[in-house]
Amino acid sequence: MKKLYSLITLVILTSAAFKANAQSNDGLSDLFKGNPSDVNKLMGAYATPLFKGFGNSLNGGWTNTAKTQDLLHFTIRVTASASIVPQADRTFNINSLNLANIKPQGSPIAQTFGGDDKLETGITFTDPNNSANTYNTKLPAGVTKYVPAPQVQLTVGLVKHTDFSIRFIPTTKITDDVGKVGMFGFGLKHNFAQDLGKNALPFDLALAVGYTRLTYEKTLNVQPDASNGGITGNSNFSNQTIEGHFSGFNTQVILSKKLLFFTPFVSVGYLTSSTDVGLKGNFPFVTGVNAAKQPIYTSYADPINISGKSASVSGMRADLGFQLNLAILTIYASGSLAEYKSFNAGIGLGF
């Protein structure tokens, strides 16, 4: 059991370190450059690749073989998946958002979360009541094109060549920069090749389904500019958080062949994911500009929610990978082709 906890801790901290490095400047705090409607559009355009990548990564790592566990035998595996934001989702066009009071300075192309971490885009906010008063600022640069998600999974063999998997991470605060993460999921896999009789086919062939739900919470610190034209509303900004709920469903047909201690596999299937992310607390929004070109703020409570198809991913998925069985230790690795390409790696203990 001590080894098990060590493995679980290792995968969580590895993923957290990757995430913390990627999000030391998460970009979200730098998106509050206009009224709530404009900010909602900007945040959706900027963060959608993060949410879609996260949902895609959740669907990874369920299995690396069509062979099922023997009755009451089990495997504990800890893996991490990372999705790659495609080139088309690394930038967005500011003009396409139909923002009310914001225009780009020069090129309208801005970075998303998955874009270049060295490029920022200048924008001009115009006071809705006086077009002569403007405020120049910048949208954030990208953070990383890799979006990781951890998996901690227990698989138990059932009757008739079927096994059951459960994923679980209790809600845990990793660091202040990363935030809190919790996860629950379950899956089933059935080996149809064994229904035809032992060794009837020279390979294993299985159908697998899996569902995962992850919750996320992180403290934010969105503050008005030190030099501002005033704030209307509640100016207590110490209670800011971002709360997210991500779920993914995955179904696969898997073919594998055990060759001594090496088992390659290939699978095709379909995945879906959904996202529901909201901001909680008081947040300052730029709602005007004074004659000295200083931004004027209005405070809004619980102002933003992002969900629906734009923040979700669905479609066909193909995986190719292998597992190495070394006594009770197993090593896993695979790659996936889908709307967002991804890769998965990890280790497991089987008994």
- 45-55: average pLDDT: 88
pLDDT band at 10 (very low <50, low <70, confident <90, very high): very low
pLDDT higher than 70, residue 22: no
Distance from C-alpha of 32 to C-alpha of 34, rounded to nearest angstrom: 6
Q: Is the pTM of this model over 0.75?
A: yes
Q: Distances from the Cα of 36 to the Cαs of 42, 116, 153, 155, 253, in angstroms?
A: 10, 26, 40, 45, 45
* Strand positions, DSSP E, 234-313: 241-256, 262-280, 282-289, 295-301, 305-307
pLDDT higher than 60, residue 40: yes
3-state secondary structure 113-148: CCCCCCCCEEEEEECCCCCCCEEEEEECCCCCCEEE
- 336-349: average pLDDT: 93
Per-residue model confidence as pLDDT tens digits over 212-240: 998 889 888 899 988 899 999 999 999 99
Q: How many helices (H) and strands (E) does the chain have?
A: 2, 19
pLDDT band at 18 (very low <50, low <70, confident <90, very high): very low
Which of 46-55, 109-118, 128-137, 319-328 bottoms out in mean pLDDT, i.e. has the lowest?
46-55
310 vs 65: which has the higher pLDDT:
65
- 325-335: average pLDDT: 93
Tokens read off for 324: 């190495």
Type of residue numbered 178: V
pLDDT band at 296 (very low <50, low <70, confident <90, very high): very high
Straight-line distance from the first to the last Cα atom of the chain, in angstroms, rounded to the nearest whole number: 12
Tokens read off for 10: 């290792």
pLDDT higher than 70, residue 16: no
Any idea of the CA torsion for 326, 329, 335, 336, to the nearest 10 degrees? 130
State residue 54's pLDDT score: 84
pLDDT higher than 50, residue 2: no
Give the length of the chain. Answer: 351
Any idea of the CA torsion for 164, 165, 171, 177, to the nearest 10 degrees? -170
Per-residue model confidence as pLDDT tens digits over 53-100: 888 888 888 999 999 999 999 999 988 889 999 999 999 999 999 999
Is residue 23 within 8 Å of 141, Cβ to Cβ? no
User: Which helix or strand (DSSP H or E) is residue 14 part of?
Assistant: helix 2-22
Residue 62 DSSP SS3: coil
Type of residue numbered 61: G
Is residue 274 within 8 Å of 55, Cβ to Cβ? yes
User: Which helix or strand (DSSP H or E) is residue 211 part of?
Assistant: strand 204-219
Residue 80 DSSP SS3: strand
Going by C-alpha positions, the residue among 279, 283, 311 that lies closest to residue 297 is: 283
State residue 156's pLDDT score: 97
pLDDT band at 9 (very low <50, low <70, confident <90, very high): very low
Going by C-alpha positions, the residue among 308, 297, 245 that lies closest to residue 44 is: 308
- 295-317: average pLDDT: 86
pLDDT higher than 90, residue 182: no
Q: What is the mean pLDDT of the chain?
A: 87
Distance from C-alpha of 259 to C-alpha of 278, rounded to nearest angstrom: 48
Is residue 186 within 8 Å of 211, Cβ to Cβ? yes
Is residue 316 within 8 Å of 252, Cβ to Cβ? no
Going by C-alpha positions, the residue among 118, 154, 124 that lies closest to residue 138 is: 124
Burial classification of residue 219, based on how many CB atoms lie within 10 Å of its CB (0-12 exposed, 13-18 middle, 19 or more buried): middle
198 vs 89: which has the higher pLDDT:
89
- Which positions ≥6 away from 194 have C-beta within 8 Å? 68, 161, 204
Q: Distances from the Cα of 150 to the Cαs of 19, 58, 60, in angstroms?
A: 10, 8, 9
